[in-house]
Structure 1
Amino acid sequence: MVVRSPLPDVQIPSVSVYEYLFGDIEPGDLDRVAVVDGVSGTETTFRSLLAQIDAVAGAMAARGFGVGDVVALHAPNVPAYVTVFHGLLRAGVTVTTINGLATGPEITKQLADSGARLMITVSALLEAGEAGARGAGLTEEQMVVLDGGTGAAEGYASLADLLAEPRPAPDVSFDAATHLAVLPYSSGTTGRPKGVMLTHTNLVANVAQSLAIGVGPDDVVPCVLPFFHIYGMTVLLNLALKTRAKLVTLPRFDLAQYLGIIQEQRATFLFVAPPIALALAKHPLVDSYDVSSVRAVLSGAAPLDEKLAQAVLDRLGDSVRVLQGYGMTEMSPVSHCIPFDRPDISPGTVGLLVAGMEAKIVDPATGAEIEQPDDGVSAPGELLCRGPNVMVGYLGNPEATADTLEPDGFMHTGDIVTVDAGGVFRVVDRLKELIKYKGYQVPPAELEALLLSHPKIADAAVIGVPDDEAGEIPKAFVVTAQGQSLSEGEVIAYVAEQVAPYKKVRSVEFIEAVPKSASGKILRKDLKVAP
């Protein structure tokens, strides 16, 4: 059974990302502030931003870069990222975005796999960037350091150099439906990172689909989730630019700095991952700042439990809307969201399919399709999605593409979900992460949510560990709240009181921090190798 989005269809024009975001900008919007540097406070208007984008596009074209070329962008969230990213797209270049935490060897692999001919980085990341570029055979002439020109970055071309060249943006022609805009790489929480081929139409479609989230021109959006990740790229960067909201860039997450930006800039719409939601709900520092300007918090990248969503609401006030979205890099990324104007939808769900999306739920054991019920909630199964935002495939990896994309266009997500009669989806767990205890399936996310409800637990993760008798047993990794103490027995007893016997946590390890990706996903592979 195919489940279709109940939201009205949106028009998806066959244009470039640049044309879609900026082609219809009103003269009165040109002098609005587009980007604020959260560290320095420097403001960039839309007029200045568009001039800079054109200049970067012209400089790239003059260097011989255009349609068919790949350029790597390796930088934190700074205003220059906005300029260069869109300047490259304006020139017809395909951008492969690199994780700011990537090591030299990891950068080498991505540069080589993507076929990048140029590496753009910043001085703070230059050590890893240089090592990665050398490993991929790039020379110093094939590197740009955005803030270069002094110190270790002496001799490298800089953004100032690119902007100083009086070159007009080139006339570029390509098919938006087939030309690759970006090549982000999967987060690597499981398996080998793969280049995800996303076209201009994919990105345009997903911004259009994401308008239901409710960001508007009066919103101020702090951007701490990284632009190199598809969540930051589409939902923060591109959606805010399209709606003429104000972006405030932050190069890394520091809770005090983040709260300070909310207070000083009167931030209104917070896009977070569950670790930030957890801090907003539980950290005592929140009480030291004025966060009354916030009207909405949307969590994505990993499941947000209903109790944690309610804790955020309790902390920030009843007037704040707590929302949740769902997606994957392979879907540009948003496939589901709770629209701002739907307060009836629980924030513990991922909401509705976005406009133009279709889904199927399939029993992972039998392959049988699970029906959407006329009343109540469906049985759980793997989510498959189809829509204009779904990737072309994985770069140079036809086998992985065939494993993920069905011939009819439906894409396997690997996530276990349910859907109710109203079309509201809830993520139960990750198919590959389900723990098999004596044949029973135990969802780690359920146990993690339960552990986080304990007042003495600041963070937690659960994985399955091998057991001769049971096959696997649930093991909890627990971070205790500041100034608190807990024993293994207390944790085990707390969970046992609230779950079926087969779901009980049977081993506990106390750790200083749960390893997570930049987008907030628990790095279970790192827990599996922990001593």
Structure 2
Amino acid sequence: MPFASPLPDVEIPDVTLYDLLFADLSGADLERPATIDGPTGAATTYGALRAQVDAVAGALAARGVRPGDVVALHSPNVPAFVPVFHGILRAGATATTVNALATGDDVARQLADSGATLLVTVSPLLAAATAGAEASGLAAERVVVLDGADGHESLRDLLADGLAAPDVAVDPATHLAVLPYSSGTTGRSKGVMLTHRNLVANVLQTAAMIDVTPQDRVIAVLPFFHIYGMTVLLNLALRARAALVTMPRFDLPEFLRITQEERCSFLFIAPPIAVALAKHPLVDRYDLSVVREVISGAAPLDGELGGAVARRLGCVVRQGYGMTETSPVALLVPDTGDVPLSSVGIPIPNVECMIVDPATGAEVPLLPSGVSDPGELLVKGPNIMVGYLGNPEATADTIDADGWLHTGDIVTATPDGVVTVVDRLKELIKYKGYQVAPAELEALLLTHPGIADAAVVAARDAEGEEVPKAFVVTQEGVDLSADDVVSFVAERVAPYKKVRQVVFIDAVPKSASGKILRKNLRATGVSA
């Protein structure tokens, strides 16, 4: 039988994300710092931020952006990201966020697939942005550079127009707010269609379990372009009237300095940062006593590692579970202290879960005592995506006729609905929280003239981090080294997609239908 959150449902208002976050700002709220630039300390108040959001929306409308249009935002975590992101939504458009590490080819694919009519970027990323725009047919004058560049409008230009936000009417339940890209459970990246209601719901569902307050400062190093950073940092912090302290990239000394000097009390992290917080000697040189909670996501956090962070920092450590397709939070360890950190917790309010046998589809029951048999986790709730853009087949493979989203993760659950992830049915690799699709790397490897066949699976490096591992079959008579393979891929993909281990084999194991048997490869024990 399905099991629901033990917490009461939250009311989900029929409003846009802009209305949820900005419509009811009080007089006191207007003077609070909304964003703080971590490197410089420059602050923007909630009142100034809302004015900037409205001005960006007006400027976009003046440049022909209409409700339903898609605007691409390609930027690391800088304060300017916030008014532009929400300005796009305020104009009635849909924001498709582009990974800051994306190559020109990556940008071109996303622009073309999403149908973006405008691209907003920053000068350090301009080379990839312009290459992608040109390849996708987007005119150079439709590329805005936030911090300015010759031949391009800047954020200052948009704000200088001084235009009011357009009067747009959208249905929060059906109007697409964002279009992030995800590999789902397998394959190439697909546009995940998330409505205003999806995002509004997930902010409120998450807020019911994460007590961020106006007195908190939240360090924002996890990227806003990723759904985790977008919902759990950016939107949750704004809803709580907390201050977001932005970092454009992770650097441990800078992370620790900013946490200390800006007195950041909430740290939202991914497991690689947890490793540093637990083990790096540099941590002891900083006063982190103000930190009251650390929440990890984007990839599984080992319970012992989380416990080491809690002991060292003297704070609460929790983790959650989600996907881009769930906006993203679906489960979270509560702060009651009675749920193991090694689990991913309980369903958040308004969410139902079910476990099924992946081979038969039969329900796996929760037992009166003990832990259930393992099975695939299914999730249902108001935070579930509409579907994949232009891909009804992939949508039907992921969301069944009864509205259950099939996560591709194998889990067990206790009688009271505490879920633990035990394996992965889906093929997706999570490298430092970033999604890497094996099929994409395999397609690239096969373009090498010396490679006859290839398969890519998840492996572990010396630090326990999940990494892409390639099994390669060379063409007859070709002498190819592991370094040759690594270099070939590295020259053609974003850094997080690089192959980290290579094994040469005689043949890639495949099923009768031609599907790569990745489980067989993972079980071989062959080391790089």
Determine if contact 2:16/2:197 at 8 Å carries over to the other structure.
yes
Determine if contact 1:213/1:338 at 8 Å carries over to the other structure.
no
Deviation at 1:64, TM superposition (A): 1.5
In structure 2, the partner of 1:344 is 338
1:477 aligns with 2:472: no
- Which of 313, 316, 327 pairs up with 2:313? 316
Deviation at 1:325, TM superposition (A): 0.5
Determine if contact 2:427/2:457 at 8 Å carries over to the other structure.
no
Determine if contact 1:189/1:525 at 8 Å carries over to the other structure.
no
In structure 1, the partner of 2:245 is 248
Same amino acid, percent of matched pairs: 61
Gaps in structure 2 of 5+ consecutive residues: 432-455, 466-482, 505-527
Q: Secondary structure at the match of 2:190?
A: coil
Deviation at 1:339, TM superposition (A): 2.7
Change (3 A) 1:474 1:526: closer
Change (3 A) 1:48 1:475: closer
Superposed counterparts of 1:270-419, under 5 Å:
270-317=267-314, 320-340=315-335, 342-419=336-413
Query: AA paired with 2:391?
Result: N
Superposed counterparts of 1:181-220, under 5 Å:
181-186=177-182, 190-211=186-207, 212-220=209-217
1:221 aligns with 2:215: no
Superposed CA offset, 1:212-253 (max 9, x none): 122121111000000000000000000000000110000000
Determine if contact 2:141/2:151 at 8 Å carries over to the other structure.
no
Superposed CA offset, 1:68-123 (max 9, x none): 10000000000000010001100001000000000001100000000000000000
Deviation at 1:476, TM superposition (A): 4.7
Query: AA paired with 1:390?
Result: I
Distance between the aligned counterparts of 1:416 and 1:526, measured in 2?
A: 25
In structure 2, the partner of 1:162 is 158
Q: Secondary structure at the match of 1:307?
A: helix
Gaps in structure 1 of 5+ consecutive residues: 435-443, 449-471, 482-508
In structure 2, the partner of 1:54 is 54
Distance between the aligned counterparts of 2:188 and 2:60, measured in 1?
A: 31
Determine if contact 1:327/1:333 at 8 Å carries over to the other structure.
yes
TM-score, normalised to structure 2's length?
0.82
Superposed CA offset, 1:16-72 (max 9, x none): 100011112222111001100001110000010011111001111111212110000
In structure 2, the partner of 1:488 is none
In structure 2, the partner of 1:180 is 176
Number of residue pairs the alignment of both structures matches: 455
- Which of 232, 244, 265 pairs up with 1:268? 265
In structure 2, the partner of 1:234 is 231
In structure 2, the partner of 1:130 is 130
Distance between the aligned counterparts of 1:476 and 1:159, measured in 2?
A: 42
Distance between the aligned counterparts of 2:382 and 2:349, measured in 1?
A: 10
Distance between the aligned counterparts of 1:324 and 1:417, measured in 2?
A: 15
Q: Secondary structure at the match of 1:225?
A: coil
Deviation at 1:288, TM superposition (A): 1.0
Q: Secondary structure at the match of 1:44?
A: strand
Distance between the aligned counterparts of 1:280 and 1:272, measured in 2?
A: 10
Determine if contact 1:189/1:524 at 8 Å carries over to the other structure.
no
Q: Secondary structure at the match of 2:462?
A: strand
Deviation at 1:432, TM superposition (A): 3.3
Change (3 A) 1:104 1:257: same
Superposed counterparts of 1:53-202, under 5 Å:
53-148=53-148, 153-186=149-182, 190-202=186-198
Change (3 A) 1:529 1:133: farther
Change (3 A) 1:474 1:222: closer
Distance between the aligned counterparts of 1:75 and 1:273, measured in 2?
A: 19
Change (3 A) 1:70 1:39: same
Distance between the aligned counterparts of 1:398 and 1:276, measured in 2?
A: 37
TM-score, normalised to structure 1's length?
0.82
Change (3 A) 1:524 1:362: farther
In structure 2, the partner of 1:467 is none
In structure 2, the partner of 1:461 is none
Distance between the aligned counterparts of 1:433 and 1:263, measured in 2?
A: 39
Distance between the aligned counterparts of 1:272 and 1:431, measured in 2?
A: 25
Q: Secondary structure at the match of 1:339?
A: coil
Query: AA paired with 2:292?
Result: R
Superposed CA offset, 1:402-443 (max 9, x none): 100001100000001111122211111211359xxxxxxxxx
Distance between the aligned counterparts of 2:496 and 2:82, measured in 1?
A: 28
In structure 2, the partner of 1:38 is 38
Q: Secondary structure at the match of 1:102?
A: coil
Distance between the aligned counterparts of 1:381 and 1:5, measured in 2?
A: 19
RMSD of aligned residue pairs (Cα, Å): 2.6
Distance between the aligned counterparts of 1:527 and 1:189, measured in 2?
A: 22
Superposed CA offset, 1:184-225 (max 9, x none): 001589520000000000000000100112212111100000
Superposed CA offset, 1:470-491 (max 9, x none): xx9996531599xxxxxxxxxx
Change (3 A) 1:88 1:190: same
Determine if contact 1:326/1:337 at 8 Å carries over to the other structure.
yes
Determine if contact 1:190/1:525 at 8 Å carries over to the other structure.
no
Query: AA paired with 2:132?
Result: G
Distance between the aligned counterparts of 2:183 and 2:22, measured in 1?
A: 30
Determine if contact 1:221/1:270 at 8 Å carries over to the other structure.
yes
Distance between the aligned counterparts of 2:400 and 2:185, measured in 1?
A: 23
Query: AA paired with 2:137?
Result: G
Q: Secondary structure at the match of 1:478?
A: coil
Tell me which moved more, 375-384 or 320-329: 375-384
Change (3 A) 1:189 1:523: farther
Determine if contact 1:240/1:247 at 8 Å carries over to the other structure.
yes
In structure 1, the partner of 2:471 is none
